Amino acid sequence: MRHLMSPLDLSVDELNTLLDLASDIEKHPDKYAHVCDDKRLATLFYEPSTRTRLSFEAAMMNLGGKVLGFSSADSSSATKGESVADTIRVVSCYADICAMRHPKEGAPLVASMASSIPVINAGDGGHQHPTQTLTDLLTIRSLKGRLDNLTIGLCGDLKFGRTVHSLIEALVRYTNVKFVLISPEELRIPSYIREDVLKKNNIEFQEVERLEDALPDLDILYMTRVQKERFFNEEDYVRMKDFYILDKQKMELAKEDMYILHPLPRVNEIATEVDADPRAAYFKQAQYGVYVRMALILTLLEVKLPC
Ligand code: NCD
For the chain, give the longest Cα–Cα distance: 56
The CA–CA distances, whole Å, from 156 to 144, 184, 194, 210, 256 equal: 23, 8, 16, 11, 22
Please name which of 123, 26, 62 lies closest in space to residue 297, comparing C-alpha atoms: 62
CA distance 222 to 218: 10
The CA–CA distances, whole Å, from 105 to 57, 74, 202, 232 equal: 23, 19, 27, 16
Low-confidence ranges of the chain (pLDDT < 50): none
* Ligand 1 atom, smallest distance to 163 CA: 4
CA distance 180 to 189: 11
Please name which of 67, 88, 129, 61 lies closest in space to residue 1, comparing C-alpha atoms: 88
Q: Name the catalytic one among 3, 39, 40, 101.
A: 101
Binding site membership of 6 for ligand 1 (Cβ less than 6 Å): no
DSSP 193-236: IIIIIIITTT--EEEES-HHHHGGG-SEEEE----GGG-S-HHH
Q: Does the CA dihedral 6-10-11-15 come out positive or negative?
A: negative
CA distance 131 to 126: 14
How do residues 204-236 score in pLDDT, each as one tens digit?
999 999 999 999 999 999 999 999 999 989 999
CA distance 299 to 21: 9
Burial class (CB in 10 A: 0-12, 13-18, 19+), 228: middle
Binding site membership of 130 for ligand 1 (Cβ less than 6 Å): no
SS3 category, 119: strand
Between the CA of 264 and the centroid of ligand 1 the distance, in Å, is 6
Binding site membership of 69 for ligand 1 (Cβ less than 6 Å): no
Give the pLDDT of residue 65: 98
Between the CA of 50 and the centroid of ligand 1 the distance, in Å, is 9
CA distance 229 to 289: 23
Closest C-alpha residue for ligand 1 atom 1: 263
Give the pLDDT of residue 77: 86
Give the pLDDT of residue 76: 85
By the 8 A CB rule, do 296 and 120 touch? yes
Pair type for strands 177-182 and 150-155: parallel
| CA atoms within 13 Å, Cβ hemisphere of 223 | 31
Binding site membership of 132 for ligand 1 (Cβ less than 6 Å): yes
Between the CA of 8 and the centroid of ligand 1 the distance, in Å, is 19
How do residues 117-155 score in pLDDT, each as one tens digit?
999 999 999 999 999 999 999 999 999 999 999 999 999
